[in-house]
Structure 1
C-alpha cells in the first residue's frame, strides 16, 4: 500500500513506485474534456497517482478522493447524507451490495455508458453476485481475501497452519486485527457459517453464534496488541516489528512482500473469506456524467489494473493485467491449491441479519 512507510532497516520500496508510472495518458483522450469534479470515496491507493494526474490533465475533471477504512462507516455516512450525497463514486465490497441497494444508496450501472466494460474479466463482471434484480451495481476492480500474515523471520511455518495459534499465549502482545473481520474468521474457525446464510431461518441461533464469537474475542482481548483500522497501519506495525502476525487483507501484505519485507501470508486450515471490491455510483450523486467518465477511464486498459494491483497489493479483475506485473508482484498474490481450497467467498443474502448482530458485538468487544 503506502510508499511512505518508514523502515528502520532502511527498507524503502522505490522500484514498485517507479514501475507504476503509466507510459502514456492516451487511454484518456477519448474522454471529452468536461471540467468540474468527481468525488470518490475509496481505500488508500485504489486510485493510482499517475492515473489521477493523467485523468485530470486530459479531462479537466478534478478527482477528490476521500479515504475510507470501513464499509460500515461508509454506509452510515452515505445514509446520513441522503437524499443529497456529496459522493459520486464509492467503493463497496460485493458482499455488502444488498445493504446499500436495499437502502437506495446506490444506482444501477448503465453498462451502455461504459464502452470499456469488456476490460473486466467476465469471471467477476458476469458472476452471480454481481447481478441483483437484473442490474449491475458495481464495476469489479480488485479482489482479495483475509489472510494470516506473519513475519517469516520471527514466526515458523508450523505456527501458522491454524488460526488457533494466533490466539495462543506464545504470541501475546504480538498480534493485530480488525474486529469485524475477525468475527467472521472466529465463526468459521469454530465450524459455523461466517456468512450466516445457514441461519437465515433461525435468527436465534445466529444470535447465539455471534455472541459466542464475541465472548471468545473478549476472552482473548488481553492477547492482542492492537485493533487496527487500515492497511497502512498494519504495514507500519510489521515494519516496526510491533507485531509478529496479523489477520489482514492480502493487499497490504502483498505490497510489503513485493517490496522485499520478510512477511508472508497464508490461509490456515480452518479457512478464510474472499471478496471483490467494486466501484459504484451513489444514488442522486451530484456529478453523474463525470462519474461515468471516471469509470470508463479507469477501465480503459489492463495497465491501469496492474497499477492498482501494484499500489494496493490486491488482485486485479482486469483481463491481461498480470502481463504488466513483475515476477515478485505476481508471487505476492499467489496461493497454493491447498490454501485456496480453504477459501470461501463472502455472500450477501444474510447481511442484514449478520451485520445487525456483528456491528453491536464489535462495539461490545471494544468496550470490554
Structure 2
C-alpha cells in the first residue's frame, strides 16, 4: 500500500504541475503603479505563491520580503514586542484569534475602500459575522479550513454523506471515527444550537444543559464509533486500512487522500459545519501601509490567484469562481459547491472560557463511559 501511495503521489504531482503551467494567469492588471520600496509580510509557507510574488515585484518595483511563521502565539508575541514601531506590514491571522490581536491594539482596521478587488472574495467569507468586530473589518480572507464529513465513495453514497446523521447510523456501526471535542461543536450546530456558545454567555445554565445533552447523546452513540482520534495522519491511515468508511475530519488530511487517488470524498453536510479562515491583515503602524494595500489588492485581483493559493497551500480558496481554474481532482480536494459553503460557519472566541470549562469535563466523561 505504501508503494501504491508513493506512485500515485508522483503521478498526480506531475499532472498538477503540468496543469498549473498551462493555466499560469496574468496576475496583475494594467495600470499598476510603479512605486518601488518594499512590503514586509509574515505568513505561512506557500501562502504567497512564488509566481505571484515574482510578477508583483516585476510590475511594481516593490520588493516583497517574506518571513515565515508557524505559530499564531509566536507571531502575536513578536508583534507585541515590536510595538509601536513594527517591522511588518502584512501578517496572517486566523479569524478565531482576531480578538487577541485587536484587543491588544496590534492591527489596523482594514480600509476596504482601498481594495477595489474586495468583491472578488466570496461573501461567505468576507461578510460573515466573525469578520466584523467593533463595526470594522480587520483582514482580507484568503484561505479557509473546514470540518467535513469524509466518506469512502465505494461504500457510502453521496446522498448519505449530505447529513451528519449518517455518521451515527446503525448501518455504519464500528466503521466511523471523529475528533471528539470538535464533534461536540458540530453536533450542537446540527441540533440547532450555537456551537460557539456566544448565545449563552448570559445564561450559563442553558449552556450547561446543552452540553449535557450533547454528552449524553455521544455516550449513547459510543458503541458505534470505531475510534476517537486526534491527528490527521491517524484518520488517513484508518481510511487506507479500510478500518473506517466515514469520519468527521478537517479537510486538509482528506484532501491529501483525494489527491493521492484514494476513493474518498468530503462534504459540508446540510446541517452545516464549522471552519476557520486565514486572513491577511495590516499591522498597526505598518511602515509601508500604501504598499501593503497595493499588494493585497493585487492578490485579490483574480480567481486564478485564488486557485494558485489553494493549490500551493492545500487550503480552501475564499475567492469567487476559483473552481473554474482547478483541475477535476483539485476541485474535489479543495473546493465545495456554493450550497454547501453557505452552511459553513466559523469558530469564534468570545465564549471560549465558558465553553471549554463545560466541554472539557464532558469530553472526559464520554471517554470514561
User: Taking structure 1 as the reference length, what is the TM-score of the superposition?
Assistant: 0.70
| Aligned-CA RMSD value | 4.5
Deviations, residues 86-132 of structure 1 (Å, cap 9, x unaligned): 86411323x66445433434321133554543443566545665443
Structure index of larger Rg: 2
Kindly indicate whether residue 66 of structure 2 is the aligned counterpart of residue 63 of structure 1: yes
- The structural deviation recorded for 1:174 is 5.7
Kindly indicate whether residue 13 of structure 2 is the aligned counterpart of residue 16 of structure 1: no
Equivalent-residue separation in structure 2 for 1:291 and 1:195 (angstroms): 32
Equivalent-residue separation in structure 2 for 1:251 and 1:300 (angstroms): 25
Give the 3-state SS of the residue equivalent to 1:84 in structure 2: helix
Segments of structure 1 that go 5 or more residues without pairing to the other structure are 69-73
Segments of structure 2 that go 5 or more residues without pairing to the other structure are none
Q: Which residue of 2 aligns with 1:185?
A: 186
Deviations, residues 233-285 of structure 1 (Å, cap 9, x unaligned): 75576456675433234465456546643111234465423555432234456
Change (3 A) 1:27 1:157: closer
Give the 3-state SS of the residue equivalent to 2:298 in structure 1: helix
Moved more, 238-247 or 186-195: 238-247
Contact 1:255–1:312 at 8 Å: present in 2 too?
Answer: no
Kindly indicate whether residue 41 of structure 2 is the aligned counterpart of residue 38 of structure 1: yes
Contact 2:275–2:345 at 8 Å: present in 1 too?
Answer: yes
Equivalent-residue separation in structure 2 for 1:119 and 1:272 (angstroms): 23
- The structural deviation recorded for 1:48 is 3.1
Equivalent-residue separation in structure 2 for 1:243 and 1:45 (angstroms): 32
- The structural deviation recorded for 1:16 is 2.4
Q: Which residue of 2 aligns with 1:151?
A: 152
Change (3 A) 1:156 1:25: closer
Contact 1:306–1:325 at 8 Å: present in 2 too?
Answer: yes
Give the 3-state SS of the residue equivalent to 2:350 in structure 1: helix
1:10-159 to 2 correspondence within 5 Å?
10-12=7-9, 13-14=12-13, 15-21=15-21, 23=24, 27=28, 30=33, 32-35=35-38, 37-40=40-43, 42=44, 45-52=46-53, 54-55=55-56, 59-68=62-71, 74=72, 76-81=73-78, 83-84=80-81, 88-93=90-95, 97-98=98-99, 100-121=101-122, 124-125=125-126, 130-143=131-144, 145-153=146-154, 155=156
Moved more, 281-290 or 148-157: 281-290
Give the 3-state SS of the residue equivalent to 1:183 in structure 2: helix
Equivalent-residue separation in structure 2 for 1:363 and 1:285 (angstroms): 43
Contact 2:39–2:64 at 8 Å: present in 1 too?
Answer: yes
Change (3 A) 1:31 1:211: farther
- The structural deviation recorded for 1:35 is 4.4
Change (3 A) 1:216 1:287: farther
Equivalent-residue separation in structure 2 for 1:289 and 1:241 (angstroms): 53
1:1-368 to 2 correspondence within 5 Å?
8=5, 10-12=7-9, 13-14=12-13, 15-21=15-21, 23=24, 27=28, 30=33, 32-35=35-38, 37-40=40-43, 42=44, 45-52=46-53, 54-55=55-56, 59-68=62-71, 74=72, 76-81=73-78, 83-84=80-81, 88-93=90-95, 97-98=98-99, 100-121=101-122, 124-125=125-126, 130-143=131-144, 145-153=146-154, 155=156, 160=161, 163=164, 166=167, 172=174, 175-177=177-179, 180-210=181-211, 213=214, 220=222, 223-224=226-227, 226-228=229-231, 238=239, 244-250=245-251, 253-254=254-255, 256-257=257-258, 260-268=261-269, 270-273=271-274, 276-283=277-284, 288=289, 291-312=292-313, 314-330=315-331, 333-335=335-337, 343=343, 345-346=345-346, 348=348, 351-358=349-356, 361-362=359-360, 365=363
Contact 1:31–1:293 at 8 Å: present in 2 too?
Answer: no
Moved more, 115-124 or 257-266: 115-124
Deviations, residues 163-214 of structure 1 (Å, cap 9, x unaligned): 455468956486243x553231132345532132432331232244346546
- The structural deviation recorded for 1:38 is 2.0
